[in-house]
Amino acid sequence: MNIGKYTFDEYVIMAAAFHGNPAPGLLIGGYMVELAKSALPEGTIFDAVVETPKCLPDAIQLLTLCSFGNGWMKSVNLGRYALALYDKYTGEGVRVWIDTAKLSMWPEIRAWFLKLRPKREQNRERLVDEIRRAGPSLCGIAPVTVSESFLKKGGMGAIAVCPLCGEAYPAADGGMCRGCSGEHPYLTDAGTDMDMTPPAEPGLRAIPTAQAVGRRALHDMTRVVPGESKDPAYLAGQLLTAGDVCRLHTMGRERVFVMDDVDPGLSWIHENEAALAFARAMAGEGVTFEEPPKEGKINFRAEKEGLLLLDRKKLRAFNLVEDVMCASRQGFLPVEGGKRFAACRAIPLYLARTRFDRAMAVLEDGPLFSIAPIKPLPTGILVTGTEVFKGLVQDKFIPIVKSKVEKFGCEVSGTAVVPDDMEAIARAAADLVADGARLLVTTAGLSVDPDDVTRKGLFKAGLTDALYGAPVLPGAMTLIGRMGQARVLGVPACALYYQVTALDLLLPRLLAGLDITRSDLADMAEGGFCLTCKTCTFPKCPFGK
């Protein structure tokens, strides 16, 4: 049976020349491609999507104009041996796959495709003969319409030069290329401009402590008292006296570096100078840092209470540069004004200028840290539940929510208790917002029970930008959205039992005015499992971190 304009034998030769061997998947793939082409209206300009990286993409490239290189073929590795050809303007097309229900007539193909027999036990001649005779009869075919994202030919967008390897890459990948972020497959960095060998030191020479009298210390020298203190006993530039010799000996300093013995030149930068440059580039709005550096390190502080925002990609990229470091608290955590939340430093006494330049290049397009002020909002609390409305159960939600929002300075502008009725919920929600609530917290009615209609009521009241469900326990059935000028936070009934839930993680973000996306919620999965300790120590615990 022919494969398009080629005889089966001609296609086998083509497949061997292109693929290296006439693999069974490539031979069947030829029939699959031609079947899909025949189902499209004549003259259709089509693109392709393939659901496996094995063999099938080569069949598409052999028999159509679609390829990865020209962007007309896209791969979505679903692990299924299937492809689709579709009109590149409308997205309408057909999907073709190997239908396992049709393999019973072809034992060799079935054994090969389902891996029922080791390769060494397969009869290659019978397998190829069955493929020749079966042709497209093995396949299933169905109409499909691809999503709009597949109708756009993706461009690379802006191009940046990686500060580590010096090669060009899509700027959307972050502060450095994906190769230098650790995704490359190489055991060495051959072929890049990165020099992974430790640089030679800038001619440092240590002298006996007694000979350092009357000279100035080259760097901070730390004194550690176990269990009591760890502080610099001598600062860079400090004049050393005869009285210091004994104390330096007790600190384990038999030799020291002094200033007048070092001329680092332009190829090196002192730890304090490097740390100060890093801090100036890292600090954004609401962030201050301690000067001068101590022991080559600078601490960052929040100017006032707020939510810590950090660029995770940039933080990782910075720490991939050798001989520098920056450590911080978790992003999206409330921080107190004046409290430390991060620090950076150069690790060696003198940092090679090349590594300093790479680190600064990571930081050049904007700050690493900022503090978003938490702004108290007039808060409306809407309790839903027929049992509470009728007085059969005493409400406990209002005092719980009230205590949590007041911790951030919010005032409760109004409360309402309504039955599990969509219309009643909609009216009460609208009334609370109309009365000035700029944060509307609803409680309960968010599960799968037939009486739980809180979501429906909120939508009827004008809820927009709704996201329902979060990878946080307790609090998986959390709801967030907007209603006019008000932010909406739907709290599931678990908050009646657990001291800490998704409410405690999301409330500060809403009060800081942050937009929350589905991607943001997905990022909360790691650390989103509360241990429900008998004695709760939140936020001094792993929850939300």
Q: Where are the domains of the chain?
A: 8-150, 156-189, 206-257, 268-373, 379-524
What confidence tens digit (pLDDT) does each residue in 362-420 have? 898 889 999 999 999 999 999 998 999 999 999 999 999 999 999 999 999 999 999 99
Between 261 and 453, where is the model more confident?
Answer: 453
Residue 261, judged by CB atoms within 10 A of its CB (0-12, 13-18, 19+), counts as: middle
Q: Quick one: angle between helices 56-63 and 24-39, nearest 10?
A: 50
Span 442-459, average pLDDT: 83
Half-sphere exposure at residue 517, Cβ-oriented, CA atoms within 13 angstroms? 3
CATH of domain 379-524: 3.40.980.10
- Residue 193's pLDDT is 46
Cis check for the bond before 508: say yes or no (omega within 30 of 0): no
CB-based contact 407:503 (threshold 8 Å): no
CATH of domain 156-189: 3.30.60.80
Looking at the domain 206-257, which fold is it? Answer: Molybdopterin biosynthesis moea protein, domain 2 (3.90.105)
Span 131-138, average pLDDT: 95
Between 473 and 449, where is the model more confident?
Answer: 473
What confidence tens digit (pLDDT) does each residue in 187-222 have? 765 444 444 555 556 767 678 888 888 888 887 888
> CA-CA distance, 378 to 437, in Å (whole number)?
5
* Superfamily (CATH H level) for 268-373: Pyrimidine nucleoside phosphorylase-like, C-terminal domain (3.90.1170.30)
Say whether pLDDT at 516 is over 60: yes
Say whether pLDDT at 280 is over 90: yes
Report the candidate in 197, 217, 189, 407 with the shortest Cα–Cα distance to residue 323.
197
Alpha-carbon distances, residue 80 vs 99, 106, 114, 131 (angstroms) = 11, 20, 12, 19
Strands 159-161 and 168-170: antiparallel
* Whole-structure pTM value: 0.66
CA 508 to chain centre: 20
Structure-block tokens of residue 161: 């030069």
Grade residue 446 by pLDDT with cuts at 50, 70 and 90. Answer: confident
Report the candidate in 320, 313, 293 with the shortest Cα–Cα distance to residue 365.
313
- Residue 190's pLDDT is 45
Looking at the domain 8-150, which fold is it? Answer: 60s Ribosomal Protein L30; Chain: A; (3.30.1330)
CB-based contact 49:71 (threshold 8 Å): no
- Residue 23's pLDDT is 94
- Residue 346's pLDDT is 94
Alpha-carbon distances, residue 25 vs 34, 76, 123 (angstroms) = 14, 18, 15
> CA-CA distance, 159 to 148, in Å (whole number)?
25
Structure-block tokens of residue 82: 């299937």
- Residue 189's pLDDT is 53
Between 496 and 95, where is the model more confident?
Answer: 95
- Residue 263's pLDDT is 67
Span 348-356, average pLDDT: 89
Say whether pLDDT at 60 is over 50: yes
- Residue 321's pLDDT is 87
- Residue 191's pLDDT is 46
Say whether pLDDT at 492 is over 80: yes
Structure-block tokens of residue 56: 């099938």
- Residue 149's pLDDT is 83
Strands 379-384 and 412-418: parallel
Grade residue 262 by pLDDT with cuts at 50, 70 and 90. Answer: low
Region of residue 204 (phi > 0: left; psi between -120 and 50: alpha; otherwise: beta): beta
- Residue 203's pLDDT is 66
Span 171-188, average pLDDT: 75
Query: What rounded mean pLDDT belongs to the chain?
Result: 90
Grade residue 508 by pLDDT with cuts at 50, 70 and 90. Answer: very high
SS (H, E, C) 61-130: HHHCCCCCCCCCEEECCCCCCEEEEEECCCCEEEEEEECHHHCCCCHHHHHHHCCCCCHHHCCHHHHHHH
Grade residue 527 by pLDDT with cuts at 50, 70 and 90. Answer: very high
> pLDDT above 70 covers what percent of the chain?
94
Tokens 């009334």 sit on residue: 431
Say whether pLDDT at 155 is over 70: no
Half-sphere exposure at residue 457, Cβ-oriented, CA atoms within 13 angstroms? 29
- Residue 424's pLDDT is 95
- Residue 250's pLDDT is 86
Span 315-329, average pLDDT: 92
